[in-house]
């Protein structure tokens, strides 16, 4: 915004002083001098001095208008930012003990704390496992003792190397292998098939890594162990009850049993 030059302000001041002097000297000339002063603020109209240019007067008027508008806007802003009169105080919510409480948010403890879940499927070996195993051992020992009282287990007579019993059967826990020998070559029956079966059982925990202990959720492990047990149990049953003289296949309900415990 352009400012009014200093020499113009001095001229306007001198014109106002002359107008006041004339007003004090003669009452009749006061209205004309006042009208001249109002119409010519710089006092240069009839005084014989140079007249103030119109564009300078316009600038000074616009400056005064802008200053007045700025002061009005500041006053309005001050009124707008003035604090409102306080109304009746609202009661703040208090807790059970009278203290002020404020609920911010609910945060799970695991998101801000390094909390490790406590395993619930693991127990100590003692006493949980060893007590159960000890009780099971006592039950089987008692069963064996009672069974031996009522069922005799006499030793066989001395072996006669001139007479080979017919059929010659291995103990029951080896009858599965003896049954395989009747079907395959000794290398296949005694090494290959048992080795493959044991190798598959060794790989089973690495193939089925399901940690669940419920049988209905461990179909692979249950199926594998069931097939293994049924395969071996069938071989033992055939060798025990369905093999007669010459280790030939017979029906026990026709020729009797050829098996001793």
Domain boundary among 46, 71, 96: 71
**Is residue 23 over pLDDT 90?**
no
| Cβ-proximal residues to 213 (8 Å cutoff; 6+ apart), any chain | 121
pLDDT tens-digit map of 85-98: 555 555 555 655 55
Q: Is residue 133 part of a domain?
A: no
What range defines the domain where residue 183 resides? 165-261
CATH number at residue 170: 1.10.287
Number of domains in the chain: 2
Task: Retrieve residue 231's tokens.
Answer: 């395969």
Q: What are phi and psi of 194, to 5 degrees?
A: -65, -35
Q: Is residue 252 part of a domain?
A: yes
Q: Around 6, how many Cα atoms within 13 Å sit in the side-chain half-sphere?
A: 0
At 256 the pLDDT is 85
Query: What does the DSSP 8-state code read for residue 100?
Result: B
**Is residue 80 over pLDDT 60?**
no
d(CA 170, CA 235): 13
d(CA 167, CA 248): 9
Task: Retrieve residue 35's tokens.
Answer: 């009208």
| Number of neighbouring beta carbons within 10 Å of residue 189 | 18
Highest average pLDDT, of 3-7, 26-30, 235-239, comes from 235-239
243 DSSP β-pair partners? 249
Q: Is residue 15 part of a domain?
A: yes
Q: Is residue 128 part of a domain?
A: no
Q: Is residue 78 part of a domain?
A: no
pLDDT above 90: percentage of residues in the chain: 18
Q: Mean pLDDT across the stretch 4-21?
A: 84
CB contact at 8 A, 47 and 21:
no
Single out the residue of 56, 55, 33, 59 nearest to residue 46, CA to CA.
33
Q: Is residue 243 part of a domain?
A: yes
CB contact at 8 A, 23 and 12:
no
- Report the b/e string of 232-248 with b at 16+ CB within 10 A: beebbeebbbbbbeebe
The pTM assigned to this predicted structure is 0.42
d(CA 232, CA 230): 5
Q: Is residue 150 part of a domain?
A: no
d(CA 199, CA 189): 15
Selected residue with higher pLDDT from 242 and 164: 242
| Cβ-proximal residues to 39 (8 Å cutoff; 6+ apart), any chain | 45
Q: Is residue 118 part of a domain?
A: no
Domain boundary among 71, 100, 126: 71
Domain boundary among 71, 92, 112: 71
At 109 the pLDDT is 57
Query: What does the DSSP 8-state code read for residue 28?
Result: T
**Is residue 81 over pLDDT 60?**
no
**Is residue 118 over pLDDT 50?**
yes
**Is residue 105 over pLDDT 70?**
no
With cut-offs at 50, 70 and 90, classify the pLDDT of residue 99: low
Place of tokens 């949980």: 128
């Amino acid at each position: 915004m352009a400012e009014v030059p200093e020499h113009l302000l001095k001229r306007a001041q001198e014109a106002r002083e002359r107008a006041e002097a004339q007003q004090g000297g003669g009452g009749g000339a006061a209205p004309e001098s006042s009208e001249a002063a109002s119409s010519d603020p710089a006092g240069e109209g009839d005084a014989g001095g140079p007249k103030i240019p119109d564009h300078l007067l316009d600038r000074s008027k616009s400056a005064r208008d802008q200053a007045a508008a700025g002061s009005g806007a500041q006053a309005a802003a001050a009124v707008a930012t003035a604090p409102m009169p306080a109304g009746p105080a609202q009661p703040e919510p208090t807790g059970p003990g009278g203290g002020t409480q404020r609920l911010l948010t609910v945060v799970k403890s695991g998101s801000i704390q390094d909390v490790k879940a406590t395993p619930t499927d693991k127990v100590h070996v003692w006493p949980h496992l060893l007590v159960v195993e000890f009780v099971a051992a006592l039950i089987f020992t008692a069963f064996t003792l009672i069974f031996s009282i009522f069922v005799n287990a006499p030793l066989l007579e001395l072996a006669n190397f001139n007479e080979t019993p017919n059929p010659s059967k291995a103990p029951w826990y080896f009858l599965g292998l003896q049954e395989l020998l009747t079907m395959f070559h000794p290398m296949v029956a005694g090494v290959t098939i048992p080795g493959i079966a044991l190798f598959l059982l060794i790989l089973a925990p690495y193939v089925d890594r399901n940690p669940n202990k419920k049988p209905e959720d461990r179909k692979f492990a249950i199926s594998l162990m069931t097939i293994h047990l049924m395969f071996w149990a069938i071989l033992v049953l055939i060798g025990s009850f369905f093999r007669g003289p010459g280790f030939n296949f017979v029906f026990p309900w026709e020729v009797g049993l050829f098996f001793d415990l």
